[in-house]
Amino acid sequence: MDSKASPALFFETLNAYQRTEALRAAIQLDLFSKIDAAGSDSPILAQQMGCSERGTRMLCDYLVIIGFLEKRDSIYIQTPTAAAFLDRRSPQCMSSAMDFLLAPNLIEGFQKLSEAVRTGTTQMSTHGTMDPEHPVWERFAQSMGPMAALAAKLLAARVTLPKDRASRVLDVSASHGLYGIEVARHFPQAQITAVDWPAVVAVAAQNAATLQVADRFHALPGNVFDVDLGAEFDAILLPNFLHHFDAATCTTLLTKLCAATRPGGSIYVLEFIPNADRVSPPSAAMFALTMLATTKSGDAYTRVELESMLHAAGYRNCESYSLAPTIHDAIVAVKPK
Protein backbone atom coordinates (compact mmCIF):
# COMPACT_ATOMS: atom_id res chain seq x y z
CA MET A 1 0.00 0.00 0.00
CA ASP A 2 1.17 3.51 -0.82
CA SER A 3 2.63 5.06 2.34
CA LYS A 4 0.63 8.23 1.63
CA ALA A 5 -2.68 6.37 1.48
CA SER A 6 -5.03 6.85 4.41
CA PRO A 7 -8.63 5.84 5.07
CA ALA A 8 -9.24 9.20 6.80
CA LEU A 9 -10.84 10.93 3.80
CA PHE A 10 -13.12 7.93 3.20
CA PHE A 11 -14.17 7.83 6.86
CA GLU A 12 -14.66 11.60 7.18
CA THR A 13 -16.67 11.87 3.98
CA LEU A 14 -19.07 9.06 4.83
CA ASN A 15 -19.56 10.65 8.25
CA ALA A 16 -19.97 14.18 6.89
CA TYR A 17 -23.70 14.04 7.66
CA GLN A 18 -22.75 14.24 11.34
CA ARG A 19 -21.32 17.73 10.80
CA THR A 20 -24.56 18.74 9.11
CA GLU A 21 -26.69 17.42 11.94
CA ALA A 22 -24.48 19.01 14.61
CA LEU A 23 -24.89 22.40 13.00
CA ARG A 24 -28.59 21.83 12.48
CA ALA A 25 -29.00 20.99 16.18
CA ALA A 26 -27.03 24.08 17.24
CA ILE A 27 -29.23 26.31 15.09
CA GLN A 28 -32.44 24.65 16.26
CA LEU A 29 -31.36 25.11 19.90
CA ASP A 30 -30.24 28.69 19.17
CA LEU A 31 -26.94 27.81 20.80
CA PHE A 32 -24.86 30.53 19.15
CA SER A 33 -27.20 33.29 20.33
CA LYS A 34 -26.94 32.03 23.91
CA ILE A 35 -23.15 32.39 24.15
CA ASP A 36 -22.05 35.48 26.05
CA ALA A 37 -19.62 37.90 24.41
CA ALA A 38 -16.93 36.78 26.85
CA GLY A 39 -17.87 33.12 26.37
CA SER A 40 -20.00 30.65 28.30
CA ASP A 41 -19.44 27.25 29.91
CA SER A 42 -21.60 24.21 29.21
CA PRO A 43 -23.62 24.29 32.48
CA ILE A 44 -24.75 27.86 31.79
CA LEU A 45 -25.50 27.12 28.13
CA ALA A 46 -27.41 23.99 29.11
CA GLN A 47 -29.56 25.96 31.52
CA GLN A 48 -30.26 28.69 28.94
CA MET A 49 -31.22 26.17 26.28
CA GLY A 50 -33.15 23.86 28.56
CA CYS A 51 -30.82 20.98 27.68
CA SER A 52 -28.74 18.43 29.53
CA GLU A 53 -25.23 19.52 30.50
CA ARG A 54 -23.81 16.30 29.04
CA GLY A 55 -25.46 16.84 25.66
CA THR A 56 -24.52 20.52 25.58
CA ARG A 57 -20.88 19.80 26.39
CA MET A 58 -20.61 17.13 23.70
CA LEU A 59 -22.26 19.29 21.05
CA CYS A 60 -20.10 22.30 21.91
CA ASP A 61 -16.92 20.22 21.81
CA TYR A 62 -17.91 18.91 18.38
CA LEU A 63 -18.54 22.48 17.18
CA VAL A 64 -15.04 23.38 18.40
CA ILE A 65 -13.59 20.50 16.41
CA ILE A 66 -15.32 21.53 13.16
CA GLY A 67 -14.52 25.22 13.56
CA PHE A 68 -17.63 27.04 14.78
CA LEU A 69 -16.53 27.51 18.38
CA GLU A 70 -13.27 27.94 20.28
CA LYS A 71 -12.60 26.47 23.72
CA ARG A 72 -10.50 28.11 26.41
CA ASP A 73 -10.36 25.92 29.50
CA SER A 74 -14.09 25.17 29.96
CA ILE A 75 -15.36 28.32 28.24
CA TYR A 76 -16.84 28.22 24.74
CA ILE A 77 -16.36 31.27 22.51
CA GLN A 78 -17.81 31.92 19.08
CA THR A 79 -15.47 32.03 16.12
CA PRO A 80 -15.79 35.16 13.92
CA THR A 81 -17.76 33.07 11.39
CA ALA A 82 -20.27 31.88 13.96
CA ALA A 83 -20.61 35.34 15.50
CA ALA A 84 -21.29 36.95 12.13
CA PHE A 85 -23.53 34.38 10.47
CA LEU A 86 -25.10 32.14 13.13
CA ASP A 87 -25.86 34.46 16.04
CA ARG A 88 -29.35 35.96 15.77
CA ARG A 89 -28.02 39.14 17.39
CA SER A 90 -25.88 39.77 14.29
CA PRO A 91 -27.42 41.74 11.39
CA GLN A 92 -25.61 39.31 9.07
CA CYS A 93 -27.16 36.19 10.59
CA MET A 94 -28.07 33.71 7.87
CA SER A 95 -29.10 30.68 9.91
CA SER A 96 -32.52 30.79 8.20
CA ALA A 97 -30.80 29.43 5.08
CA MET A 98 -30.89 26.03 6.75
CA ASP A 99 -34.61 25.82 5.96
CA PHE A 100 -33.81 25.74 2.24
CA LEU A 101 -30.41 24.09 2.13
CA LEU A 102 -31.65 21.14 4.19
CA ALA A 103 -35.09 20.95 2.59
CA PRO A 104 -36.11 17.27 2.31
CA ASN A 105 -36.92 17.56 -1.40
CA LEU A 106 -33.40 18.80 -2.12
CA ILE A 107 -31.80 16.07 -0.06
CA GLU A 108 -33.96 13.57 -1.97
CA GLY A 109 -32.08 14.41 -5.16
CA PHE A 110 -28.79 13.41 -3.58
CA GLN A 111 -30.25 10.26 -2.08
CA LYS A 112 -30.94 9.16 -5.66
CA LEU A 113 -27.60 10.34 -7.00
CA SER A 114 -26.30 7.01 -8.31
CA GLU A 115 -29.27 6.72 -10.65
CA ALA A 116 -28.90 10.36 -11.65
CA VAL A 117 -25.30 9.59 -12.63
CA ARG A 118 -26.46 6.55 -14.63
CA THR A 119 -29.12 8.49 -16.52
CA GLY A 120 -27.53 11.96 -16.58
CA THR A 121 -30.59 13.63 -15.05
CA THR A 122 -32.40 14.13 -11.75
CA GLN A 123 -34.49 11.30 -10.33
CA MET A 124 -36.68 13.59 -8.20
CA SER A 125 -39.23 14.09 -10.99
CA THR A 126 -39.17 14.94 -14.69
CA HIS A 127 -37.79 18.43 -14.16
CA GLY A 128 -36.70 18.21 -10.52
CA THR A 129 -36.81 21.58 -8.79
CA MET A 130 -37.76 23.17 -12.11
CA ASP A 131 -41.23 21.61 -12.01
CA PRO A 132 -43.81 24.42 -12.41
CA GLU A 133 -44.30 26.33 -9.15
CA HIS A 134 -42.16 23.88 -7.19
CA PRO A 135 -42.73 24.67 -3.48
CA VAL A 136 -39.01 24.70 -2.74
CA TRP A 137 -38.71 28.16 -4.33
CA GLU A 138 -41.14 29.79 -1.93
CA ARG A 139 -39.04 28.31 0.85
CA PHE A 140 -35.93 29.67 -0.86
CA ALA A 141 -37.43 33.16 -1.02
CA GLN A 142 -38.43 33.05 2.64
CA SER A 143 -35.13 31.76 4.00
CA MET A 144 -32.21 32.67 1.71
CA GLY A 145 -32.45 36.46 1.77
CA PRO A 146 -29.80 36.89 4.48
CA MET A 147 -27.37 34.72 2.54
CA ALA A 148 -27.93 36.79 -0.62
CA ALA A 149 -27.77 40.18 1.09
CA LEU A 150 -24.06 40.83 0.64
CA ALA A 151 -23.96 39.64 -2.97
CA ALA A 152 -26.98 41.86 -3.71
CA LYS A 153 -25.20 44.90 -2.28
CA LEU A 154 -22.00 44.15 -4.21
CA LEU A 155 -23.89 43.60 -7.46
CA ALA A 156 -25.94 46.79 -7.04
CA ALA A 157 -22.71 48.74 -6.61
CA ARG A 158 -21.65 47.53 -10.07
CA VAL A 159 -24.89 48.43 -11.83
CA THR A 160 -24.83 51.46 -14.13
CA LEU A 161 -28.07 53.34 -14.81
CA PRO A 162 -28.92 56.69 -16.41
CA LYS A 163 -28.76 59.62 -14.00
CA ASP A 164 -30.79 62.04 -16.10
CA ARG A 165 -34.06 60.09 -16.21
CA ALA A 166 -36.09 57.34 -14.56
CA SER A 167 -34.81 53.88 -15.36
CA ARG A 168 -36.40 50.45 -15.66
CA VAL A 169 -34.84 47.32 -14.18
CA LEU A 170 -36.02 43.73 -14.65
CA ASP A 171 -35.21 41.25 -11.86
CA VAL A 172 -35.52 37.74 -13.33
CA SER A 173 -36.30 34.85 -10.99
CA ALA A 174 -36.51 37.52 -8.34
CA SER A 175 -37.14 35.17 -5.40
CA HIS A 176 -36.66 37.22 -2.22
CA GLY A 177 -36.23 40.29 -4.44
CA LEU A 178 -33.08 41.57 -2.77
CA TYR A 179 -31.10 42.09 -5.96
CA GLY A 180 -33.70 44.40 -7.45
CA ILE A 181 -34.41 46.01 -4.08
CA GLU A 182 -30.73 46.88 -3.59
CA VAL A 183 -30.63 48.48 -7.04
CA ALA A 184 -33.72 50.50 -6.13
CA ARG A 185 -32.01 51.66 -2.95
CA HIS A 186 -28.93 52.72 -4.93
CA PHE A 187 -30.92 54.51 -7.63
CA PRO A 188 -33.87 56.59 -6.35
CA GLN A 189 -35.39 56.87 -9.84
CA ALA A 190 -35.17 53.16 -10.67
CA GLN A 191 -38.42 51.22 -11.19
CA ILE A 192 -38.06 47.49 -10.52
CA THR A 193 -40.10 44.77 -12.26
CA ALA A 194 -39.71 41.40 -10.54
CA VAL A 195 -40.74 38.20 -12.29
CA ASP A 196 -41.18 34.85 -10.53
CA TRP A 197 -43.88 32.34 -9.61
CA PRO A 198 -46.87 34.04 -7.90
CA ALA A 199 -46.21 32.70 -4.38
CA VAL A 200 -42.52 33.54 -4.69
CA VAL A 201 -42.83 37.07 -6.04
CA ALA A 202 -45.26 37.79 -3.22
CA VAL A 203 -42.36 37.28 -0.80
CA ALA A 204 -40.29 39.74 -2.82
CA ALA A 205 -43.09 42.29 -2.70
CA GLN A 206 -43.27 41.94 1.07
CA ASN A 207 -39.50 42.51 1.33
CA ALA A 208 -39.79 45.56 -0.91
CA ALA A 209 -42.38 46.99 1.46
CA THR A 210 -40.22 46.24 4.49
CA LEU A 211 -37.23 47.94 2.88
CA GLN A 212 -39.37 50.92 1.81
CA VAL A 213 -39.19 50.63 -1.97
CA ALA A 214 -42.69 49.25 -2.53
CA ASP A 215 -43.70 52.32 -4.54
CA ARG A 216 -41.05 51.43 -7.16
CA PHE A 217 -41.50 47.66 -7.06
CA HIS A 218 -43.76 45.94 -9.60
CA ALA A 219 -44.53 42.22 -9.38
CA LEU A 220 -44.85 40.21 -12.59
CA PRO A 221 -46.11 36.74 -11.55
CA GLY A 222 -45.45 33.84 -13.88
CA ASN A 223 -42.89 31.81 -15.79
CA VAL A 224 -40.22 34.08 -17.28
CA PHE A 225 -40.12 31.88 -20.40
CA ASP A 226 -43.81 32.55 -21.07
CA VAL A 227 -44.82 35.96 -19.68
CA ASP A 228 -44.72 39.16 -21.70
CA LEU A 229 -41.75 41.02 -20.24
CA GLY A 230 -42.25 44.24 -22.15
CA ALA A 231 -39.25 46.13 -23.50
CA GLU A 232 -36.83 48.99 -22.99
CA PHE A 233 -35.30 47.84 -19.72
CA ASP A 234 -32.11 49.70 -18.87
CA ALA A 235 -30.78 46.80 -16.83
CA ILE A 236 -31.70 43.16 -16.41
CA LEU A 237 -30.66 41.23 -13.32
CA LEU A 238 -30.26 37.48 -13.75
CA PRO A 239 -29.08 36.04 -10.41
CA ASN A 240 -28.53 32.30 -9.99
CA PHE A 241 -30.88 31.12 -12.71
CA LEU A 242 -29.04 29.96 -15.83
CA HIS A 243 -27.45 27.01 -14.04
CA HIS A 244 -30.83 25.27 -13.87
CA PHE A 245 -31.02 24.66 -17.64
CA ASP A 246 -29.04 23.32 -20.58
CA ALA A 247 -27.09 25.74 -22.75
CA ALA A 248 -29.71 25.86 -25.53
CA THR A 249 -32.47 26.78 -23.08
CA CYS A 250 -30.24 29.40 -21.49
CA THR A 251 -29.58 30.95 -24.89
CA THR A 252 -33.31 30.99 -25.67
CA LEU A 253 -34.00 32.85 -22.44
CA LEU A 254 -31.12 35.27 -22.96
CA THR A 255 -32.40 36.03 -26.47
CA LYS A 256 -35.79 36.92 -24.99
CA LEU A 257 -34.11 39.09 -22.37
CA CYS A 258 -31.97 40.82 -24.99
CA ALA A 259 -35.14 41.73 -26.89
CA ALA A 260 -36.45 43.30 -23.68
CA THR A 261 -33.26 45.29 -23.13
CA ARG A 262 -32.97 48.90 -24.29
CA PRO A 263 -30.13 49.41 -26.84
CA GLY A 264 -27.14 50.35 -24.74
CA GLY A 265 -28.65 48.62 -21.71
CA SER A 266 -26.94 45.85 -19.77
CA ILE A 267 -27.60 42.42 -18.33
CA TYR A 268 -26.01 41.35 -15.04
CA VAL A 269 -25.58 37.59 -14.70
CA LEU A 270 -24.74 36.21 -11.26
CA GLU A 271 -23.54 32.60 -11.10
CA PHE A 272 -21.33 29.98 -9.49
CA ILE A 273 -18.63 29.97 -12.17
CA PRO A 274 -16.01 27.19 -12.18
CA ASN A 275 -12.70 27.49 -13.96
CA ALA A 276 -12.15 25.69 -17.25
CA ASP A 277 -10.83 22.64 -15.37
CA ARG A 278 -14.28 22.28 -13.71
CA VAL A 279 -12.72 21.33 -10.37
CA SER A 280 -11.76 24.78 -9.09
CA PRO A 281 -12.58 26.88 -7.21
CA PRO A 282 -14.23 24.17 -5.08
CA SER A 283 -17.46 25.94 -4.11
CA ALA A 284 -18.36 26.83 -7.69
CA ALA A 285 -17.16 23.56 -9.22
CA MET A 286 -19.03 21.38 -6.71
CA PHE A 287 -22.28 23.08 -7.64
CA ALA A 288 -22.47 21.09 -10.89
CA LEU A 289 -23.32 17.96 -8.88
CA THR A 290 -26.21 19.80 -7.22
CA MET A 291 -27.60 20.49 -10.68
CA LEU A 292 -27.24 16.82 -11.65
CA ALA A 293 -29.11 15.76 -8.51
CA THR A 294 -31.91 18.32 -8.68
CA THR A 295 -32.49 19.42 -12.29
CA LYS A 296 -33.17 17.81 -15.65
CA SER A 297 -30.25 19.39 -17.50
CA GLY A 298 -28.64 22.15 -15.41
CA ASP A 299 -24.91 22.68 -14.94
CA ALA A 300 -22.30 25.01 -13.47
CA TYR A 301 -21.12 26.88 -16.55
CA THR A 302 -17.64 28.25 -17.13
CA ARG A 303 -17.05 31.89 -17.97
CA VAL A 304 -16.38 31.03 -21.62
CA GLU A 305 -19.65 29.08 -21.85
CA LEU A 306 -21.69 31.89 -20.31
CA GLU A 307 -20.10 34.51 -22.54
CA SER A 308 -20.82 32.32 -25.58
CA MET A 309 -24.52 32.16 -24.59
CA LEU A 310 -24.65 35.93 -24.11
CA HIS A 311 -23.07 36.56 -27.50
CA ALA A 312 -25.43 34.12 -29.21
CA ALA A 313 -28.36 36.00 -27.65
CA GLY A 314 -27.18 39.36 -29.00
CA TYR A 315 -25.23 40.86 -26.10
CA ARG A 316 -21.67 42.14 -26.47
CA ASN A 317 -18.74 43.51 -24.42
CA CYS A 318 -18.84 40.88 -21.68
CA GLU A 319 -16.96 41.81 -18.53
CA SER A 320 -16.61 39.50 -15.53
CA TYR A 321 -15.73 40.21 -11.93
CA SER A 322 -15.71 38.53 -8.56
CA LEU A 323 -18.19 39.36 -5.82
CA ALA A 324 -15.74 38.29 -3.08
CA PRO A 325 -16.00 37.56 -0.23
CA THR A 326 -19.14 35.77 -1.49
CA ILE A 327 -18.67 32.67 -3.66
CA HIS A 328 -20.42 34.32 -6.62
CA ASP A 329 -19.04 35.81 -9.79
CA ALA A 330 -20.86 38.18 -12.13
CA ILE A 331 -20.76 38.86 -15.85
CA VAL A 332 -22.12 42.09 -17.31
CA ALA A 333 -22.86 42.36 -21.02
CA VAL A 334 -24.30 45.15 -23.13
CA LYS A 335 -26.91 45.22 -25.87
CA PRO A 336 -25.40 47.15 -28.80
CA LYS A 337 -27.00 50.50 -29.72
Domain boundaries, the chain: 8-93, 107-334
Long-range Cβ contact pairs of 91-96 (< 8 A, separation 24 or more): 92/146, 92/149, 92/150, 93/146, 94/146, 94/147, 94/149, 95/27, 95/32, 96/142, 96/143, 96/144, 96/145, 96/146
Q: In the structure, what pLDDT confidence band is assigned to residue 5 with cuts at 50, 70 and 90?
A: confident
Q: Decide if 8-93 and 107-334 have a common fold.
A: no
> Percentage of the chain with pLDDT > 90?
96
Q: In the structure, what pLDDT confidence band is assigned to residue 187 with cuts at 50, 70 and 90?
A: very high
In the predicted model, is pLDDT for residue 204 greater than 80? yes
CATH class of the domain defined by 107-334 = alpha beta
Q: Chain-centre distance of CA 60, in angstroms? A: 28
If one looks up domain 8-93 in CATH, what number appears? 1.10.10.10
| Global pTM exceeds 0.75 | yes
Strands 190-196 and 167-172: parallel
Q: What is the mean pLDDT of residues 103-127?
A: 95
Question: What's the CA gap between 43 and 236, in Å, rounded?
Answer: 53
pLDDT digits (tens, 9 = 90+) for 220-255: 999 999 999 999 999 999 999 999 999 999 999 999
What pLDDT does 72 receive? 96
Question: What's the CA gap between 245 and 248, in Å, rounded?
Answer: 8
> Mapping DSSP to helix (H, G, I), strand (E, B) and coil, where does residue 48 land?
helix
In the predicted model, is pLDDT for residue 178 greater than 90? yes
